[in-house]
Amino acid sequence: MILAAIILIVCLLGAVLALVFASVRVLREYERGVVFRLGRVTEHRGPGLVMLMPAVDRMVRVSLRTVTLKIPVQEIITRDNVPARVTAVAYYRIVDPTRSVIEIESVVAATSQIAQTTLRSVLGKADLDALLAERERLNEHLQQIIDDQTEPWGVKVTTVEIKDVEIPERMQHAMARQAEAERERRAKVIGAEAEFQAAARLSDAADVISRNPVTLQLRYLQTLVEVSGQQGSSTIVFPLPVDMIKPLLNEHPLSQAMTEAKDY
């Protein structure tokens, strides 16, 4: 009898301990628990120690950490009929644990499907140039659309980033030729602009020189010095009418001395 009583007490203690362990849950700082009592949802609990009623309460754990969702490769056709393969990534987190459990069966699967369909829809309305050069604007547009669609589920989409855009090789060659032609066009425009400015400066210089003949003579002498320096010789044969350099010869001191000596 005593042995049977001991066994009974041990069994009762084991059952009580089992019930205690079954009714105790520990939630981490980033976790919340959505508790259903007889099928009806109560306020979410956590973090820390959570007590449940055995056989009455059922708890679903929900993580509040940001989730990185890799969007699979999407085959799209841009508005200018260029095929492309686009990969992207989305970052989201649950802000309402209760709605994320009772409003949607699987948050991850639903968010992934919404992201894929939105990516194809939005990028299909953009040109290839916008897809390559305006990613920041497209990322913001994608984030707003996906966030609006997942908001009823208690999900907040914080960021959507287009990772890579693959286009056919023939399009890459065409874009390279276009970029080269654009660079050549800019070089020609810059060269023409430089010639225009130089011509304008020369015109201004000509106006200044035409008002003062001495300036023309000084420029002539400077040109002779420059030419002699480039050729490496001090002897220059420069065909020019004597009338143009006669004023210089008359004004030169050596010329005046020779003239006076001749008169003498």
135 and 75 together in one domain: yes
120 and 198 together in one domain: no
Q: Is residue 133 part of a domain?
A: yes
Supply the CATH number for residue 100's domain.
Answer: 3.30.479.30
155 and 114 together in one domain: yes
Domain's final residue, options 25, 42, 63: 63
| pLDDT value for 43 | 81
Residue positions counted in the chain = 264
Q: Is residue 142 part of a domain?
A: yes
The one-letter amino acid code at 93 reads R
Q: Is residue 186 part of a domain?
A: yes
Q: Compute the distance between CA of residue 264 and CA of residue 250 in angstroms, rounded to an integer.
A: 17
46 and 75 together in one domain: no
Q: Is residue 37 part of a domain?
A: yes
Q: Is residue 10 part of a domain?
A: no
Domain's final residue, options 167, 197, 221: 167
Sign of dihedral through CA atoms 140, 144, 150, 155? positive
85 and 157 together in one domain: yes
Q: Which domain holds residue 27?
A: 16-63
Write the CB contacts of 221 (distance below 8 Å, at least 6 apart in sequence): 248
Sheet bearing 155-166, strands edge to edge: 67-77, 83-94, 155-166
96 and 160 together in one domain: yes
22 and 94 together in one domain: no
CA angle centred on 92, ends 86 and 93, rounded to 5°: 165
| pLDDT value for 263 | 45
118 and 198 together in one domain: no
| pLDDT value for 257 | 43
Task: Map tokens 């659309």 to a residue.
Answer: 145
Q: Is residue 80 part of a domain?
A: yes
Closest CA to 148 of 118, 171, 168: 118
Contact in structure between 135 and 188 (CB atoms under 8 Å): no
144 and 117 together in one domain: yes
The string of pLDDT tens digits covering residues 95-154 is: 999 999 999 888 999 999 999 999 999 998 888 888 888 889 999 999 999 999 999 999
Sheet bearing 31-37, strands edge to edge: 40-41, 31-37, 57-63
The string of pLDDT tens digits covering residues 210-222 is: 776 666 666 666 6
- Specify the number of domains making up the chain: 4
| pLDDT value for 243 | 56
158 and 71 together in one domain: yes
Q: Is residue 5 part of a domain?
A: no
Kindly give the parts of the chain with pLDDT less than 50: 242, 252-264
Q: Is residue 8 part of a domain?
A: no
3-state secondary structure the chain: CHHHHHHHHHHHHHHHHHHHHHHEEEECCCEEEEEEECCEECCCECCEEEECCCCCEEEEEEECCCEEEEEEEEEEECCCCCEEEEEEEEEEEECCHHHHHHCCCCHHHHHHHHHHHHHHHHHCCCCHHHHHHCHHHHHHHHHHHHHHHHHHHCEEEEEEEEEEEECCHHHHHHHHHHHHHHHHHHHHHHHHHHHHHHHHHHHHHHHHHHCCHHHHHHHHHHHHHHHHHHHCCCCCCCCCCHHHHHHHHHHCHHHHHHHHHHHC
107 and 145 together in one domain: yes
77 and 152 together in one domain: yes
Q: Compute the distance between CA of residue 97 and CA of residue 199 in angstroms, rounded to an integer.
A: 74
| pLDDT value for 89 | 94
The pair of three-digit structure tokens given for residue 8, joined into one six-digit string: 């009974």
| pLDDT value for 87 | 92
| pLDDT value for 204 | 75
